[in-house]
C-alpha cells in the first residue's frame, strides 16, 4: 500500500503506526530494582506524547534543539521521539564528557533545552550555565540527590509529565497537529562527530536518511517485532542511534536498557538478544573474560575447552557458512556444540543471536573467527556518522574478516583516484550544522561524500578499508606507510590495548604502546611478578619481552606483504600511562588523536629515533574528579627484530 508507506516517513509517524500495529507487544524494557519492567508500544506512544506536550508547555517549538545526556534510559529515547514530534532536533551528547567539552556542543547547537539522566549530569550543566546563557530548561530523570537544588532552570521529569498531561488536556489537537506538520526532509537528529581532528561538527540527518538506512538494514537481515536488542552503547554514537532508535521504530523490535554500564554482561545473559551490535573492543573484552576464567577452571574442563576450540577453529566457520566440511569434523562439531559452544554462547548471552554486527574499528582475525566458529553469526559493517552508519554490510554466507562487506541496498560506493572511498545515497547527511564550508568540502559536485578512508574492492566485490586517507603517508624510502594498519595488527594481541605508530617522512617505523592492564596484569600475577599499578607494570623488563614477541610477530607478517615490508616496527616503547579521553589523547569513541599524541610525547618520539635506551618524561594527567596530577617515569626503549622476505622463506 503505497499510500500508507508514504505516511510513515517520519519517526513520530512510525511510532504512531507501531502503537496501532503492535499495541500490546513490548517496545522497551528496563531493569529496575533487579526486575525487568516492560513498556508496550501503546504505552510508549502515550509516554512520548505526554513528554512532548510537557516540552511544548515549557516553550519548546519547531526547530528548537533538545540536548540529551545520560546512559541508555527509556525516557531519554522517548525524549528523542518527543522532540522530533514537535519538529525539534534532539542532540545526544556523550554522557562521560566533562563539563568543558559540553560547552562547545551546547553553544554550537544553540540548545535551550536539555534532558539529562541524573544529578551527575545536572552538576555538569550547572557548572557550564554561566557560559551557556541560552540554556533555559534542564529536565532530570532521576530525582535522587536533587532535593536541595534551587536553580530555576531545573525541573523533574515527573513534574514535566504532569505539565504535559495538563497541556494535552487543554490542547488535545496540539500533538497530532505537530506530528502531521513533520516532513521527511526535516532534520531529525544532530549527531556530533567525535572530533578526531579539530572541533566536533554537528551532522544533520533528515528523518528520511535514518529511516531508509534502517529499512535497508532491517530488510537485509529480516528484522521484525520478534527481535530484541540490548541498548548499551552511548546514545550520542551513530551506531546506537541506528540500531536502538531508527531500526527500533522501523522494525518494531524490543530495546532493553541495562541496569548500569557495569551490569552489561549479566543483562546480556538475562535478555538473550537476537540482534546485537558492538564495537570490536566489547567482543574482545568478553573473550578475555572467558579466557581468564577458563584458566581457572579444572583440568578436565580446560582440556575439553581447548580441544573443542581447536575443532571449531578448523571447521566452525565453514559450517556456519554452510560450506563443505569433513564428516568427522561435522560430528565432532555437533558434539562440541553440546559440550562447549552452546554453554559458552549461553554464558556470553549469545544463545539466541541471529545476527551480530561489529563496526567502528578493525577487528582481529582470530577474534572474529572465534565468534563465528562457536556459532555466533558475527558480521562487519561500514559507515560513519555522516552516512547513518550504513554504507557496506556483509551478507550471510560471504563473511570475511578483512573486508567490511558489499555496498548496502541503495548505496553507491566508488573509489577515487587517490584511493579514497566515496559514497552516495539517501543516507547521506544534509549538512554540517552551521558549517557550509565543511559540507562543501566533504560532498563533491556529483553528490559523493568523501569518507576520508582509503580502501579498495577485492575480487568478490567487497570493500576493504586500509586506513584513514589522510593518515596514509610515505616513509623516507618512498614506501607506503599506513599507521592504522600496523596499529591494528598490534592491537589484535590481547596484551596490547593501544598502539600509535610513527614513520611518515622517517626512515623507519617506531611505535608507542599501551599494555592492556587486565590481560598483562593477569599474565604477571600468574608468573608471580609483583607490580603496584600501570606505570610500574609497564616498566617491567618481563613485560617488555612479552611485547617484543608481539611486535616481532607483527613484523614477520608485515614482511610478507610487499608494499608494507618497510613498515616493520624497528623500535618501540611502552607508555608510562594509559592514553585517556580525559587527557584529550583519545576521542570519546576511544580513537587515538594522532596529532595530539605526537605533540604531547614529542620527547619520547625523538628518543625513539635516536639511539637512547631510556627517556625521562613528566606528564600531566587529569583524574576523574577533575583534579590534575603529574606522572613521572623513565620509559625504556627497546629494539625489535625485523625480517627480510628472504629470511622468512629460509625459515620456511
Partner 1 sequence: MVQARNIGDVILKIDNISLAFGGVKALSEVSFDVREHEIRAIIGPNGAGKSSMLNVINGVYHPQHGSVTFKGITREQMRPHEAAKQGIARTFQNIALFKGMTVLDNIMTGRNLRMHRGFLAQAIWYGPALKEEIEHRRHVEQIIDFLQIESIRKTPVGRLPYGLQKRVELARALAAEPVMLLLDEPMAGMNVEEKQDMCRFILDVNDEFGTTIVLIEHDMGVVMDLSDRVVVLDYGRKIGDGTPDEVRDNQAVIDAYLGVQH
* Positions in the binding site for partner 1 (CB under 8 A): 32-35, 126, 144-145, 147-151, 259-260, 262-263, 266, 623-625
Kindly state the smallest distance separating residue 625's Cβ from partner 1, in Å: 6
126 vs 480, which CB is nearer to partner 1?
Answer: 126
**Please, what sign has the CA dihedral across residues 450, 451, 456, 458?**
negative
35 vs 445, which CB is nearer to partner 1?
Answer: 35
Closest of 586, 625, 623 to residue 281, by C-alpha: 586
376 vs 581, which CB is nearer to partner 1?
Answer: 581
- CA 402/CA 396 separation, integer angstroms: 15
- CA 645/CA 508 separation, integer angstroms: 17
Kindly state the smallest distance separating residue 374's Cβ from partner 1, in Å: 25
30 vs 453, which CB is nearer to partner 1?
Answer: 30
In a 3-state reduction of DSSP, which class is residue 633?
Answer: strand
Kindly state the smallest distance separating residue 49's Cβ from partner 1, in Å: 28
- CA 120/CA 467 separation, integer angstroms: 37
173 vs 262, which CB is nearer to partner 1?
Answer: 262
Q: Are 119 and 147 in contact (CB under 8 A)?
A: no
Q: How many residues does the chain have?
A: 652
Q: What is the DSSP letter of 91?
A: E
- CA 509/CA 503 separation, integer angstroms: 5
- CA 88/CA 86 separation, integer angstroms: 5
- CA 117/CA 257 separation, integer angstroms: 13
- CA 425/CA 544 separation, integer angstroms: 48
147 vs 650, which CB is nearer to partner 1?
Answer: 147
Residue 480 has φ and ψ, to the nearest 5°, of: -70, 140
Q: Which residues contact residue 272 at a Cβ distance below 8 angstroms, ignoring those fewer than 6 apart?
A: 228, 349, 350, 351, 352
582 vs 639, which CB is nearer to partner 1?
Answer: 582
Q: Are 374 and 313 in contact (CB under 8 A)?
A: no
Report the Cα–Cα distance between both ends of the chain, in Å, rounded. Answer: 64
**At how many degrees (to 10) do helices 299-320 and 280-295 cross?**
150
Kindly state the smallest distance separating residue 260's Cβ from partner 1, in Å: 5
Q: Are 645 and 563 in contact (CB under 8 A)?
A: no
Kindly state the smallest distance separating residue 293's Cβ from partner 1, in Å: 12
Q: Which CA distances in Å does 533 have to 320, 494, 517, 625?
A: 42, 18, 9, 19
4 vs 262, which CB is nearer to partner 1?
Answer: 262
Kindly state the smallest distance separating residue 263's Cβ from partner 1, in Å: 4
Kindly state the smallest distance separating residue 483's Cβ from partner 1, in Å: 34
151 vs 560, which CB is nearer to partner 1?
Answer: 151
| Residue 473: strand pairing partners | 481
- CA 429/CA 201 separation, integer angstroms: 12
Q: Which residues of 361-385 are buried (b: 16+ CB within 10 A; e: fewer)?
A: ebbbeebbbbbbbbbbbbbbbbbbb
In a 3-state reduction of DSSP, which class is residue 624?
Answer: coil
397 vs 629, which CB is nearer to partner 1?
Answer: 629
Kindly state the smallest distance separating residue 238's Cβ from partner 1, in Å: 27
Kindly state the smallest distance separating residue 217's Cβ from partner 1, in Å: 31
Within 493-644, where are the H helices? 517-526, 534-539, 541-559, 594-600, 602-608
- The C-alpha torsion from 287 through 256 and 249 to 214, rounded to 10°, is 0
118 vs 186, which CB is nearer to partner 1?
Answer: 118
Q: Which CA distances in Å does 23 have to 231, 232, 460, 495?
A: 21, 25, 44, 49
Please, what is the Cα angle at 222 between 78 and 367, to 5 degrees?
90
Kindly state the smallest distance separating residue 590's Cβ from partner 1, in Å: 20
- DSSP for 199-246? S--EEEEEHHHHHHHHHHHHHHTT--TT-EEE--S-TTSHHHIIIIII
Closest of 405, 348, 401, 403 to residue 376, by C-alpha: 348
Q: What is the DSSP letter of 28?
A: E
74 vs 239, which CB is nearer to partner 1?
Answer: 74
- DSSP for 308-347? HHHHHHHHHHHHHTT----HHHHHHHHHHIIIIIHHHHHH
Kindly state the smallest distance separating residue 126's Cβ from partner 1, in Å: 8
149 vs 596, which CB is nearer to partner 1?
Answer: 149
Kindly state the smallest distance separating residue 282's Cβ from partner 1, in Å: 16
Kindly state the smallest distance separating residue 31's Cβ from partner 1, in Å: 8
Kindly state the smallest distance separating residue 228's Cβ from partner 1, in Å: 21
20 vs 123, which CB is nearer to partner 1?
Answer: 123
4 vs 624, which CB is nearer to partner 1?
Answer: 624
624 vs 646, which CB is nearer to partner 1?
Answer: 624
Kindly state the smallest distance separating residue 240's Cβ from partner 1, in Å: 20
Kindly state the smallest distance separating residue 119's Cβ from partner 1, in Å: 9
Kindly state the smallest distance separating residue 148's Cβ from partner 1, in Å: 4
20 vs 158, which CB is nearer to partner 1?
Answer: 158
In a 3-state reduction of DSSP, which class is residue 161?
Answer: helix
Amino acid at each position: 500500500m503505497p499510500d500508507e508507506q508514504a505516511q510513515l516517513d517520519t519517526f513520530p509517524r512510525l511510532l504512531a503506526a507501531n502503537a496501532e500495529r503492535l499495541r500490546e507487544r513490548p517496545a522497551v524494557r528496563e531493569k529496575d530494582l533487579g526486575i525487568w519492567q516492560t513498556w508496550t508500544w501503546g504505552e510508549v506512544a502515550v509516554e512520548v506524547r505526554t513528554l512532548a506536550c510537557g516540552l511544548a508547555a515549557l516553550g519548546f517549538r519547531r526547530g528548537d534543539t533538545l540536548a540529551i545526556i545520560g546512559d541508555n534510559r527509556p525516557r531519554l529515547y522517548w525524549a528523542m521521539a518527543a522532540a522530533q514530534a514537535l519538529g525539534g532536533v534532539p542532540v545526544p551528547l556523550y554522557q562521560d564528557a566533562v563539563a568543558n567539552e559540553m560547552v562547545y556542543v551546547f553553544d554550537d547547537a544553540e540548545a535551550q533545552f536539555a534532558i539529562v539522566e541524573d544529578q551527575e549530569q545536572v552538576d555538569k550543566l550547572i557548572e557550564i550555565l554561566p557560559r551557556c546563557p541560552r540554556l533555559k530548561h534542564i529536565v532530570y530523570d532521576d530525582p535522587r540527590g536533587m532535593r536541595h537544588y534551587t536553580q530555576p532552570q531545573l525541573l523533574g521529569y515527573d513534574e514535566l509529565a504532569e505539565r504535559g498531561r495538563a497541556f494535552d488536556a487543554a490542547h488535545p489537537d496540539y500533538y497530532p497537529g505537530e506530528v502531521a506538520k513533520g516532513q521527511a526532509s526535516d532534520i531529525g537528529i544532530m549527531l556530533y562527530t567525535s572530533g578526531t581532528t579539530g572541533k566536533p561538527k554537528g551532522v544533520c540527518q533528515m528523518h528520511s536518511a535514518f529511516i531508509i538506512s534502517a529499512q535497508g538494514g532491517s530488510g537485509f537481515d529480516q528484522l521484525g517485532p520478534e527481535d530484541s536488542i540490548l541498548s548499551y552503547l552511548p546514545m550520542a554514537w551513530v551506531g546506537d542511534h541506528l540500531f536502538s532508535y531508527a531500526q527500533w521504530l522501523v522494525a518494531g523490535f524490543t530495546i532493553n536498557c541495562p541496569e548500569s554500564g557495569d551490569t552489561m554482561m549479566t543483562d546480556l545473559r538475562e535478555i538473550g538478544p537476537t540482534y546485537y551490535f558492538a564495537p570490536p573492543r566489547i567482543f574482545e573484552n568478553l573473550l578475555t573474560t572467558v579466557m581468564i576464567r577458563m584458566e581457572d577452571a579444572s583440568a578436565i574442563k580446560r582440556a575439553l575447552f581447548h580441544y573443542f576450540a581447536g575443532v571449531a577453529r578448523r571447521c566452525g566457520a565453514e559450517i556456519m557458512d554452510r560450506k563443505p566440511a569433513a564428516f568427522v569434523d561435522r560430528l565432532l562439531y555437533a558434539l562440541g556444540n553440546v559440550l562447549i559452544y552452546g554453554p559458552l554462547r549461553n554464558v556470553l548471552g549469545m544463545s539466541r543471536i541471529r545476527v551480530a554486527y561489529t563496526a567502528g574499528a578493525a577487528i582481529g582475525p582470530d577474534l572474529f573467527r572465534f565468534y563465528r566458529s562457536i556459532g555466533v553469526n558475527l558480521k562487519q559493517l561500514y559507515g560513519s556518522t555522516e552516512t547513518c552508519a550504513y554504507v557496506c554490510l556483509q551478507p550471510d554466507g560471504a563473511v570475511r574478516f578483512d573486508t567490511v562487506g558489499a555496498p548496502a541496498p541503495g548505496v553507491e560506493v566508488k573509489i577515487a583516484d587517490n584511493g579514497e572511498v566515496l559514497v552516495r545515497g539517501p543516507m547521506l547527511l544534509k549538512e554540517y550544522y552551521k558549517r557550509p564550508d565543511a559540507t562543501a568540502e566533504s560532498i563533491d559536485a556529483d553528490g559523493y561524500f568523501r569518507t576520508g578512508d582509503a580502501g579498495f574492492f577485492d575480487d568478490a566485490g567487497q570493500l576493504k578499508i586500509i586506513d584513514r586517507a589522510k593518515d596514509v603517508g610515505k616513509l623516507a624510502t618512498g614506501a607506503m606507510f599506513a599507521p592504522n594498519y600496523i596499529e591494528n595488527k598490534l592491537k589484535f594481541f590481547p596484551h596490547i590495548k593501544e598502539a600509535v605508530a610513527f614513520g611518515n617522512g622517517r626512515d623507519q617505523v617506531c611505535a608507542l604502546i599501551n599494555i592492556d592492564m587486565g590481560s598483562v596484569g593477569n599474565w604477571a600475577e600468574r608468573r608471580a611478578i609483583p607490580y603496584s599499578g600501570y606505570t610500574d607494570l609497564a616498566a617491567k623488563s618481563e613485560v617488555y619481552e612479552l611485547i617484543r614477541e608481539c611486535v616481532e610477530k607483527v613484523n614477520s607478517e608485515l614482511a610478507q606483504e610487499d608494499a608494507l615490508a618497510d613498515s616493520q616496527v624497528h623500535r618501540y616503547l611502552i607508555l608510562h600511562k594509559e592514553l585517556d579521553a580525559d587527557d584529550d589523547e583519545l576521542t570519546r569513541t576511544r580513537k587515538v588523536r594522532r596529532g595530539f599524541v605526537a605533540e604531547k610525547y614529542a620527547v619520547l618520539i625523538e628518543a625513539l629515533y635516536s639511539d637512547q635506551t631510556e627517556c625521562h618524561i613528566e606528564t600531566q594527567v587529569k583524574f576523574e574528579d577533575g583534579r590534575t596530577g603529574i606522572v613521572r617515569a623513565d620509559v625504556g626503549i627497546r629494539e625489535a627484530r625485523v625480517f627480510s622476505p628472504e629470511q622468512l622463506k629460509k625459515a620456511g
